[in-house]
Amino acid sequence: MRYFNLLDGDSVPALGLGTWKLAGDDARVTVQTAIGLGYRHIDCAPIYENEPDIGRALEFSLRGGEVSREKLWVTSKLWNDSHRADDVRPALERTLHDLQLDYLDLYLMHWPVAHKPGVSRPDDGTGFLSLEDVPLGETWTAMRDRRDAGLCRHIGVANFSTSKLQSLIDETGTVPAVNQVEAHPFLQQRELLEFCEENKILLTAYSPLGSRDRPDDMKQADEPSLFDHPTVQSIAERHDVSSASVLIAWAIQRGTIVIPKASSEAHLRENLQAAELELAESEMQDLESLDRGFRYVDGTFWEMPGGPYTAANLWD
């Protein structure tokens, strides 16, 4: 397994397991199987509503000695309803309780979007708080305090644009360890990646396979398929691997952490093996030519009449 170095010299496994959409006991079994196969990095979030199930898997694997806590990398995220400074600590403590851990390796601000406390998923614009009401710096400073108190080893953000990263750094002086954003050959995020590299922020690629199992109401008509693209397929054929393997290898080879979600044991195995696959420079270039700025997770679900967020001000 390849590892990438963080600004403070610590290292993170380049491949992690995504856990969005793993429900109930499937989440427990999948995470337990993944750790048994050799996964050492699990990407969680309370909004995935499976942290108690994942906690059972972690407890089983750690207690049974399959892996030591030091060798496992666990990420979780602060949900949008807990952005106010006083709400960060209880949210993190709830996640630690559910995951049955004393600390996280990485705690991310899930979105640069704030909800009113207690509003998990707003029905209309009145469920939101604006970034003037709760500045991102307020949330970030509270997260930093929790890191300094030892509840998480690193803090980072997700779904942050270059301009939001720059403002956060200017305002607080604290550089996020990681920015987790959607990335794959159709959305390569080159400018953002360059900014992150310059500032020693690791970029994590989410939905690296195109998130085909996400809810229908988050899908657009006629979405392009990464798996079926002829360039991806021909590289896959050349290496006698799947399209998914090519996408995972591409992400790691360009220096991004990648967190494909999988539930079947066959997919889990395949994705782990893909982390060892090496693509030729010419294949990397062919994949680079596929960029078209296409988002599967496009953020329009935060746009509600009377609310403060739009896809345009989200991805600024």
Catalytic residue numbers read 48
Smallest gap, in angstroms, from Cβ of residue 173 to ligand NAP? 24
Q: Which CB, 61 or 207, lies closer to ligand NAP? A: 207
Identity of residue 297: V
Identity of residue 101: L
Q: Which CB, 212 or 238, lies closer to ligand NAP? A: 212
Smallest gap, in angstroms, from Cβ of residue 242 to ligand NAP? 5
104 beta partners = 152
What span, in angstroms and rounded, lies between the C-alpha atoms of 242 and 244?
Answer: 5
What span, in angstroms and rounded, lies between the C-alpha atoms of 130 and 286?
Answer: 41
Smallest gap, in angstroms, from Cβ of residue 65 to ligand NAP? 26
* 8 CB-contact burial (10 Å; exposed 0-12 / middle 13-18 / buried 19+): exposed
Both tokens assigned to 74: 């666990």
- Give me Rg for the CA atoms of the chain: 19
Smallest gap, in angstroms, from Cβ of residue 22 to ligand NAP? 8
How far, in whole angstroms, is CA 33 from its chain's centroid? Answer: 20
Q: Which CB, 168 or 209, lies closer to ligand NAP? A: 209
Q: What are phi and psi of 295, to 5 degrees?
A: -100, 125
> Which residue is at the shortest CB distance from ligand NAP?
18
Q: Which CB, 270 or 303, lies closer to ligand NAP? A: 270
Q: How many CA atoms lie within 13 A of 310 on its CB side?
A: 5
In angstroms, the first-to-last Cα distance of the chain is 35
Smallest gap, in angstroms, from Cβ of residue 270 to ligand NAP? 4
**Residues near 240 by Cβ (< 8 Å), separated by ≥ 6?**
none
> Where do contacts with ligand NAP occur on this chain (CB under 6 A)?
18-21, 43, 110, 158-159, 180, 206-214, 242, 244, 259-264, 267, 270-271, 297
Q: Which CB, 68 or 295, lies closer to ligand NAP? A: 295
> Are the CB atoms for 46 and 91 separated by under 8 Å?
yes
